[in-house]
Amino acid sequence: MRVTISSVITKIFQRMRILCGAWGVCAVVMLMVMLSGVDASAQNLRRGVKHTVAGGMMQDLPDSLRAKRDTVKLSKSDSINRLKILAKQARQRQDSISRYYRMRDKAASQGRLDANGNILPPERWFGDSVSLSRVCMVSAVLPGYGQIYNKQYWKLPILYGTMGASIGLAVHQNSVYKPLKTRYNELIADGLYRTEELNQVQGDMIRSNTKRQLLWGAALASYIYFLGDAAVNYSTNDVSNVKKATTLSTICPGAGQIYNKSYWRVPIVLGGMASMVYVVDWNNRGFKRFKTAYALRADFDLNPGNYPEGVSKDEFRGRYSATYLKNLRDAYRRNRDLCLIMTAAVYAFQIIDAHVDAHLKDFDVSDDLTVRLDPMFDYQSSNIYGSSPVFGVNLNVTF
| pTM of the complete model beyond 0.85 | no
Task: Report pLDDT digits (tens) over 3-14.
Answer: 455 565 566 656
Cβ–Cβ < 8 Å for 232, 179: no
Tell me what pLDDT residue 330 has: 94
Asked whether the predicted pLDDT for residue 103 surpasses 80, the reply is no
User: Helices (H), strands (E): how many in the chain?
Assistant: 11, 2
Residue 198: phi and psi, rounded to 5, are -65, -45
CB atoms within 10 A of CB 384: 4
Asked whether the predicted pLDDT for residue 55 surpasses 50, the reply is no
Tell me what pLDDT residue 7 has: 60
Tell me what pLDDT residue 52 has: 45
Find the mean pLDDT for residues 322-337. 93
Q: Mean pLDDT highest for which of 24-33, 116-125, 354-363, 381-390?
A: 354-363
Nearest to 55 by CA among 42, 69, 41: 69
Distances (CA, A) of 137 to 134, 156, 167, 246: 5, 18, 22, 14
Asked whether the predicted pLDDT for residue 261 surpasses 70, the reply is yes
Find the mean pLDDT for residues 118-128. 56
Give every CB contact of residue 316 below 8 A, 6+ residues apart in sequence: 293, 297, 325
> Quick one: CA torsion of 368, 369, 374, 376, rounded to 10 degrees?
80
Confidence of residue 299 (pLDDT cuts 50, 70, 90): confident
Secondary structure of residue 106 in the 3-state scheme: helix
Asked whether the predicted pLDDT for residue 53 surpasses 50, the reply is no
Residue 370: phi and psi, rounded to 5, are -135, 155
Report percent pLDDT > 90 for the chain. Answer: 24
Asked whether the predicted pLDDT for residue 356 surpasses 80, the reply is yes
Report percent pLDDT > 70 for the chain. Answer: 69
Tell me what pLDDT residue 21 has: 56
- pLDDT, greater one: 340 or 86: 340
Find the mean pLDDT for residues 257-283. 92
Cβ–Cβ < 8 Å for 231, 149: no
Tell me what pLDDT residue 388 has: 74
Task: Report pLDDT digits (tens) over 159-170.
Answer: 899 999 999 999
Asked whether the predicted pLDDT for residue 62 surpasses 60, the reply is no
**Cα distance between residue 180 and residue 205, in whole Å:** 5
Asked whether the predicted pLDDT for residue 283 surpasses 70, the reply is yes
| Angle at which helices 132-141 and 196-232 cross, to 10° | 150
Cα maximum dimension of the chain: 175
Lowest-confidence region among 10-14, 136-140, 285-289, 389-393:
10-14
| Angle at which helices 241-251 and 196-232 cross, to 10° | 160
Q: Which residues of 206-220 are buried (b: 16+ CB within 10 A; e: fewer)?
A: eebbebbeebbebbe
Distances (CA, A) of 140 to 5, 145, 199: 127, 9, 42
Asked whether the predicted pLDDT for residue 73 surpasses 90, the reply is no
Tell me what pLDDT residue 56 has: 45
Tell me what pLDDT residue 58 has: 46
Q: Average pLDDT, whole number, for the chain?
A: 77
Lowest-confidence region among 37-41, 135-139, 185-189, 325-329:
37-41
Find the mean pLDDT for residues 319-347. 93
Lowest-confidence region among 233-237, 257-261, 296-300:
233-237
Nearest to 131 by CA among 243, 50, 214: 243
